[in-house]
Amino acid sequence: MTPAGTSASRQLLPVVPLAALFLAAFVLPLAALVLVSLFRDPEFSGLSLVQYLRFLSDPFSLKVLSDTLWLGAEVALATLILAYPLALVYVASGQFVRTLITFLIMLPLLTSTVVRTFAWIVILGRDGIINSAMLSLGFWQAPARLLYSWEGMVLALTQIQLPLMALPVINSLLRLDSNLTRAAEGLGASRARIFFTVVLPLTLPGAIAGWLLVFAAAATAFITQTLVGGGRIILMPSYIYQQAVGVQDWPFSAALSLIFTLAVTGVVFAIGALSRRYLRGVDAA
Amino acid sequence: MELALSDVRGHSLDLNGIGHAFGATVALDEINLTVAAGELIALLGPSGCGKTTMLQIIAGFLRPSKGEVRFDGARVEHIPANRRRIGMVFQNYALFPHLTVFENVAYGLRARKTAKPEVTAKVEQMLGLAQMAAFARRLPGELSGGQQQRVALARALAIDPGLVLLDEPFSALDKNLRLDMQIEIKSLLKTFGVTSIIVTHDQEEALSMADRIVVLNKGRIEQIDSPDALYDRPASLFISSFIGHTNLLRGTVTEADRVLLDAGPEIDLGRSAQRRRGTPVTISVRPENIAFGAERPGAIPVTIRATVPLGAVSVTEGVTTSGEAVKISQARAAGIAKAQVGEIAWLAISDTSRVSIFSTPVDDFSKHQQRSV
């Protein structure tokens, strides 16, 4: 072995444990998943692409996938709309308010998703805080269906995933040169014009990073989707669970898993590529 | 429209009794300044002197704690920055990195809802004047520093501003390019006849650009004068050492028009010192106002420490018997004997009418002394 080769392999030595873990816990199971998805039936008799064809020709399955991706997109958009005002307040504030906002953003991250989801059940439930308040104040005659609804699920996921959006948006707003907004103001631009022509385009990399994080997290949020969405709304994570554990159709659920993974990463890569193509002169976050 | 400002190019500007404090820190105190329409003014001072605060107050980014800002005689403190018709050029140019050169220059016009053909015509005119027409489709990141500055100025002038404010506009440029850009920008501003205010800590920049220089120190105006007057007749010890190079020599007033220097001789000022006998004073003598001479009464003995050739002139530094450093600047002509290091030389002040005299401040004399070394 050449001296250069020796030093290169020495340099790689520290990553061996992580690489081994990655291989054992990710690459091998993924390979197993691919293999399982290629069996013709739950009895593992013979290889074929029939599971994939079954998915692509089944309107119900396709609807579940599109609903799931749409949920991720909707939640990501909602967090984006909420994160900008929060980030603008943060950037304009003094040290004390900044620390307070950071604490409030980080707090949900320090509690488990299960706890946060159950908190939403308490709030949205039939006898929950909102329903009992509205009923006792006489605004509503009967309890509204908040839990086990699409809107309730979007609401809960928006709150739960907000930190993933707020942090990158705040970060890119902090890096925005304040002279640029001053220059725009000096040139006669209104606040709204400054936001849409200078602040938003220049912080878009952070917003896109946040959007992709929230999209992927919300689309795959099995616990919150199941507990707040309930049994009526079937999305990819619960569909896979149902096919694997309930129906015991392992080849089909493996195919579902791979299709879902490809669809989510496909969206992430497509948006990443589009933003690199169209964001001129803007530093990538 | 709330804006009652005339459309004539170049506002006059008045600052009356402006004061500003950030919490307990007083940034500006009792600022009075009148700028005529079309005048080019430099705000000069060391960092922390309040010049940036003053610029922000004029631009409308900051409302002064007290005092009046008037454009063409009308008060404007209540008018926000985006309705003051002011062109700003920032230290880092602050060009919008995601917009092309054309779009940058068009920004102010579009913000003012100018019709499209007019925007195109105006932007093309401005880019032509700034010699940037060939770069209209480029992004700012693809331009050199000097080109970015031209675009920044074109963008500021495109809105037909009444006032152009330039914040340390040349500090990001190479030294070689700086003088060229100063001349170019000065002539552009003068062509437009726009009232301009340059904020700078660089005295050469102020001297080369401005009709008048406002020297700020610790939140107060120390002197407002033409570049020549500021150099020849500095109003304070601070200015005499801040503008150009100078030699500060301590002494004591002995008679109405005579000062006994700590360095040895008694010199005749040729005019009244306007101070009582026995008053400790500091005299300021420019390096070009000192020449080597013969040993005679009134000449200052120094030990030569170093000689530095600086192109057109050569500068010699000597130390007086009282330990003060003195620089002598001479045109580097043939036939002038070179002073040898370690030698004793005798110095004479060429023109005593160009010597400035100040009372010696008790506390910060040593600081000035260090600066001049």
* Closest to A164 (Cα-Cα) out of A72, A76, A274: A76
Answer for the pair B94, A179: CB distance below 8 angstroms, yes or no: yes
Return contacts of A47-51, CB within 8 angstroms, 24+ apart: A51/A251, A51/A252, A51/A254, A51/A255
Q: How confident is the model at residue B48 (pLDDT cuts 50, 70, 90)?
A: confident
- What are the residues facing B261 on neighbouring strands? B251
pLDDT at A283: 59
Is residue A169 predicted with pLDDT exceeding 60?
yes
What pTM does this model have? 0.79
Q: Indicate which of A185, A187, A279 best probes the interface with B, i.e. most B CBs within 10 Å of its own CB.
A: A187
Least Cα separation, residue B92 to chain A (angstroms):
8
* Closest to B264 (Cα-Cα) out of B306, B292, B302, B237: B302
Q: pLDDT for A107-132, tens place per residue?
A: 878 888 888 888 888 888 888 888 88
Q: Which of B84, B94, B111 sits opposite A189 (nearest CB)?
A: B111
Q: Which residues of A touch B (CB under 8 A)?
A: 177, 179-180, 182-190, 193, 197-198, 201-202, 279-283
Provide the CB-side half-sphere exposure for B126 (13 A, CA): 28
User: How far apart (Å, rounded) are the C-alpha atoms in residues B95 and B100?
Assistant: 9
DSSP letter string over A172-188?
A: HHHTS-HHHHHHHHHTT
Interface touch B112/A188, C-beta < 8 Å: yes
Q: Which residues of B touch A (CB under 8 A)?
A: 59, 61, 80-88, 90-92, 94-99, 107-108, 111-112, 139-141, 155-156, 159
Q: Which single residue is written with the structure tokens 């589009």?
A: A274
Q: How confident is the model at residue A1 (pLDDT cuts 50, 70, 90)?
A: very low
Q: pLDDT for B239-285, tens place per residue?
A: 888 888 889 889 989 888 888 888 888 888 888 878 888 888 998 99
Judging by beta carbons within 10 Å of its beta carbon (0-12, 13-18, 19+), is residue B73 exposed, middle or buried?
exposed
Interface touch A189/B61, C-beta < 8 Å: no
Is residue A284 predicted with pLDDT exceeding 60?
no
Interface touch B107/A189, C-beta < 8 Å: yes
Q: pLDDT for B88-106, tens place per residue?
A: 999 889 999 999 999 999 9
Interface touch B97/A281, C-beta < 8 Å: yes
* Closest to A156 (Cα-Cα) out of A146, A165, A169: A146
Q: How confident is the model at residue B371 (pLDDT cuts 50, 70, 90)?
A: very low
* CB contact set of B147 (below 8 Å; sequence gap of 6+): B132, B135
Interface touch B81/A182, C-beta < 8 Å: yes
Q: Which chain B residues are Cβ-neighbours of A185 within 8 angstroms?
A: 61, 80-82
Q: Which of B59, B83, B90 sits opposite A188 (nearest CB)?
A: B83
User: The complex's ipTM?
Assistant: 0.79
Is residue B13 predicted with pLDDT exceeding 70?
yes
Q: How confident is the model at residue B1 (pLDDT cuts 50, 70, 90)?
A: very low
Residue A237 tokens read as 């994570």
pLDDT at A8: 74
User: How far apart (Å, rounded) are the C-alpha atoms in residues B16 and B33?
Assistant: 7
Q: Which of B59, B84, B107 sits opposite A184 (nearest CB)?
A: B107
Is residue B332 predicted with pLDDT exceeding 80?
no
For strand B344-349 and strand B290-293, is the pairing parallel, antiparallel, or unpaired?
antiparallel
